[in-house]
Structure 1
């Protein structure tokens, strides 16, 4: 089983209403993706030849997160295609879902500057993420 991503809310993440600013969640999603990719692909993956680019983000704010609350982010595979895949996120505080989101990522070769099919090893790694079905 993969470890969830745990983080400490920074003071600079919060807005005047003393909760995590809406734009910060996209950074949290990115950090969680990197955390999960390190677990399933390792640190030696060649991101220049077999990387990803972000196509789309969506965020649904259910309940605010405040400065001293412990955050845990879970990443799931929602969909996998030939060249792209969709990840979904749950931001939890003490097991309560506070924010959800999705990201569509396209596999990309930065050297040739072209989209590429999802590499076999990445596809296997993505399948290690629990498939999150819409409820």
Structure 2
């Protein structure tokens, strides 16, 4: 299991109601995703040659997050296919789930400008942890 991503809520993240704006959660999920990859993918990974692109996000809002909250996002991979994989997010404040999310990512070779099979090293890392 990987360590959760600790998120710092910025004043600019909050809307007039005093809670984190719905659009900001996608940025939080992106930060959590990169935190996850830092733990499971080799630091020498060439993201330009063996990259990924985001093709779908879903977010389920279950409760508000406020400025002085200290959210943590737990990330895991729920599915690995031929060219894509699915990541799920559980954003918690004090152990209570406030938001859930899911992303579908496709492996992409930016040098060849085309989709790619899930890279063997990545597939091994993703399936070993989750």
- Any idea what SS the aligned residue of 1:33 has? helix
CA distance in 2, matches of 1:74, 1:9: 16
Task: Report the Cα offset of residue 79 of structure 1.
Answer: 1.0
* Aligned position for 1:47: 47
Alignment of 1:86-101 (within 5 A): 86-101=86-101
CA distance in 2, matches of 1:129, 1:76: 8
Gaps of 5+ in 1: 131-135
Check 1:67–1:128 CA distance in 2 against 1; reply closer, same or farther (3 A cut): farther
* Aligned position for 1:37: 37
Task: Report the Cα offset of residue 50 of structure 1.
Answer: 0.6
* Aligned position for 1:83: 83
Relative to the length of structure 2, the TM-score reads: 0.97
Task: Report the Cα offset of residue 129 of structure 1.
Answer: 3.5
Task: Report the Cα offset of residue 82 of structure 1.
Answer: 0.5
- Any idea what SS the aligned residue of 1:122 has? helix
* Aligned position for 1:71: 71
| Displacement over 6 Å in runs of 4+ | none
Task: Report the Cα offset of residue 42 of structure 1.
Answer: 3.0
Any conservation in 2 of the 1:77–1:88 contact (CA below 8 Å)? yes
* Aligned position for 1:115: 115
Q: Summarize deviations over 1:22-63 as a string: whole Å, max 9, x none.
A: 000000000000001011113211001111000000000000
Gaps of 5+ in 2: none
C-alpha RMSD of the superposition: 0.9
- Any idea what SS the aligned residue of 1:36 has? helix
* Aligned position for 2:4: 4
Q: How many residues align?
A: 130
